[in-house]
Amino acid sequence: MTLPTPAAAPPADPPSFGTRLAGAMQAHGRLCVGVDPHPQILRDWGLTQDAAGLREFCARVLDACAGRVGVIKPQVAFFERFGVAGMQVLSELQQQARAAGLLVIADAKRGDIGSTMAGYAEAWLSPGGDFAADALTVSPYLGFGSLQPALQAAEQHHAGLFVLALTSNPEGQQVQLATDAEGVTVAGRIAAAVAARSTTAEAGLGSIGLVVGATTAGLAAAHGIDLSAGRMPLLAPGYGAQGAGADDLRRGFGPSYSSQVLVNSSRGILAAGPDAESLTRAIEGTLEDLR
């Protein structure tokens, strides 16, 4: 008699992005290093303006980040400018970073009508895809509802989204602080919509968060925007090169700072390179400043 082969146990679901992010922040602090290979930074680092220069830049940044920070945020624009070869380097960076235990937030700021949004979500969030990331930045300015396919994909793939709410650039306020008939700002409506979607079922943080600038966080309270609802992760660019300091972050985010805020610094860290020791010192000094 042949015995039936026992059914293999289904693979366990990975923890949600919010759980992974909370763990990474607990282990390594609240710094996200921005991987922004600006033309000037490649020049300053003595690297060529091509895919080879880009690849060397990424290898050095990755070496400095692995084991020291929990999260990196490649700026897709600076890879895209080198065409297919640049995007190949981005794909390699994302895969190597994730294999080294870093979370990767792809800063691609995607946003389109729903049917097209599904294509973007598949490209950036499907596990096994060339550009698979832990989380993606998205723009809600075609209407929050247009992000529905990305919200679904994030849930299906245990990934995260950071929805632009109150961006770090001053020009953003013309749109983001405009008010509707009830006097509620556009950013406030987006924050409320994200908070309603944020799932905190596992531990710590939700998986759908907001981008709120380190330079603009103070405007949230001034305009009645609740950033603490739903324990949304808050990605805060604008620290360092754009002028905001740790005091601005603490004041601007108030009680949300200690539990929800992941601070991005790109040029502020990269300006210390290419010397590995100086890069490491910049990362460690920034981690200390943000503690």
Ligand X SMILES: O=c1ccn([C@@H]2O[C@H](COP(=O)(O)O)[C@@H](O)[C@H]2O)c(=O)[nH]1
HSE at residue 10, side-chain half, CA atoms within 13 A, is: 2
Longest dimension (CA), the chain: 76
The tokens for 228 are: 């603490």
Residue 273 in contact with ligand X, rule: CB under 6 A = no
Write down the least CB distance from residue 105 to ligand X, Å.
Answer: 10
Q: What stretches of the chain show up as alpha helix (H) in DSSP?
A: 17-28, 39-44, 51-65, 77-80, 83-99, 114-125, 148-157, 173-176, 186-197, 217-222, 246-253, 256-260, 267-270, 276-290
Using CB under 6 A as the binding rule, the residues of this chain from 27 to 56 that contact ligand X are 34, 36
- Which position among 18, 37, 140, 240 is part of the footprint of ligand X (CB under 6 A)? 240
- Which position among 75, 176, 185, 207 is part of the footprint of ligand X (CB under 6 A)? 75
Residue 264 in contact with ligand X, rule: CB under 6 A = yes
- Which position among 230, 268, 273, 274 is part of the footprint of ligand X (CB under 6 A)? 268
Count the neighbouring beta carbons within 10 Å of the beta carbon of residue 178.
10
CA 94 to chain centre: 13
Please say if 73 is a catalytic residue.
no
What are the backbone angles phi and psi of residue 165, rounded to the nearest 5°?
A: -120, -65
Position closest to ligand X via CB: 167
Stretch that binds ligand X, among 79-87, 174-182, 247-255, 260-268 (CB under 6 A): 260-268
**Residues pairing with 166 in the sheet:** 212
Question: Which of 213/230 has CB closer to ligand X?
Answer: 213
Residue 265 in contact with ligand X, rule: CB under 6 A = yes
Stretch that binds ligand X, among 10-18, 142-150, 201-209, 239-247 (CB under 6 A): 239-247
How are beta strands 71-74 and 31-35 bridged, if at all? parallel
Question: Which of 21/269 has CB closer to ligand X?
Answer: 269
Using CB under 6 A as the binding rule, the residues of this chain from 103 to 122 that contact ligand X are 107
**Distance (Å, whole) CA 191 – CA 177:** 12
Write down the least CB distance from residue 11 to ligand X, Å.
Answer: 34
Instruction: Exactly one of 38, 68, 98, 109 is catalytic; name it.
Output: 109
Catalytic residues: 109
Residues that bind ligand X (CB under 6 A): 34, 36, 75, 107, 167-168, 211, 213, 237-238, 240-242, 264-268
